[in-house]
A = this chain, B = another copy of it.
Amino acid sequence: MTEFKPRILITLGDPKGIGPEVIAKALGDPTVAARARFELVGNEALFERACELTGTEARFAKISKIDLPEGPSAEQRGKYVYDALCSAVEICLQGQADGLVTGPLEKAALWDAGHCVPGHTEILGRLCDAAPVMMLAGGPLRVVPLTTHVALREVPDQLSCELVYDIALTVARSLKLDFGLDDPKLALTGLNPHAGEGGCYGNEEKTILEPAAEKLKAQGVRIDGPLPADTAFYKAAQGEYDAVLSPTHDQALIPVKLLAFRSCVNITCGLPIVRTSPGHGTAFDIAWQGVADAGAMIAAIETAVLIAQKRRK
């Protein structure tokens, strides 16, 4: 039986960043190019420049063109990136594409263009009218930060039993739907050292995390925790858990970037559409030199293809 070859959209991301060149490199790889029917969403001239820079011969039947002035200001870059994302999401929601991979954007440019959100995930949630959850996957790990771009001082007050419950449920569903796991097993790490060591160092484990875990178990979700964070990721890397949920951004991202720095993929769970992106940012400091590593973009494309195939089944 021929494998389903999904239609995958790719936005080029910020024109000043490494997005265009890593996309050109990725699609210049015949193995990657053969995996799906790709369609770009962005500026045609920009992508041609990226192909020239990287010496790739990526040619596409389709590119959804988005206007971008020459030598764009931050505001113009922000508008361009936002327009491309809206256009791509619209195509997916209309059922004309099976998944979306996004190139990295710059938050400051987005803000200059009047879109004051931390990044892609929040915009996607609004455009899809859904509650998106960010998952990072790399090497043997899938991790989910329960809070993301917030000062550490505010994390304890941002956590709630409802927040943990809702995110864990979304993750458990995504592991079934998107990754084909029949009965996924989650780990929940503590907020405090040693998961509070029985209340010696903070009580959020007892007041928030334990009740959330109990409520999830009552709903049939397999979840262990709150576990000491310094051992949970080792166990997950050994295959004991399908995903680890962590109260802080750094708890979750340190281990996955340590084990898979060059192939870390961001997956947005809980959306009606399939969406992935490379785990890195715009990397302005090395952009348009042709040196950027396409490993994470290739991994993001592969992951989007696999999820689109799983959802089709």
Contacts and interface: CB of A to CB of B under 8 A. Distances in A.
Interface of A: 107, 148-156, 189, 191-194, 196-197, 200-204, 229-231, 233-234, 237, 247-251, 253-255, 257-259, 261
A202 B237 contact: no
Contacts of A251: 250-251, 254
Nearest to A250: B229
A265 to B, nearest CB: 14
Nearest to A147: B193
Contacts of A197: 107, 149
Contacts of A259: 258
Contacts of A202: 151-154
Nearest to A234: B261
Nearest to A155: B152
Q: Which of A150, A152, A253 has the most CB of B within 10 A?
A: A152
Contact of A151 (B107, B150, B201, B233): B201
* Interface core residue of A149, A197, A254, A259 (most chain B CB under 10 Å): A254
Contacts of A234: 257-258, 261
Contacts of A192: 151-152
Contacts of A148: 193
Q: Which 9 residue pairs across A and B have the least CB separation, nearest first? A: A151-B202, A230-B253, A193-B249, A229-B250, A234-B261, A153-B156, A151-B201, A230-B257, A152-B192
Given A149-B194, A237-B258, 7 more contacts: A107-B197, A150-B193, A151-B196, A152-B156, A152-B191, A229-B250, A250-B251
Given A152-B155, A153-B156, A258 B255 contact: yes
A193 B149 contact: yes
A105 to B, nearest CB: 14
Contacts of A249: 193, 230
Contacts of A253: 229-230
A134 to B, nearest CB: 12
Contact of A254 (B149, B156, B229): B229
Contacts of A151: 192, 196, 201-203
B200 A149 contact: yes
A107 B152 CA distance: 28
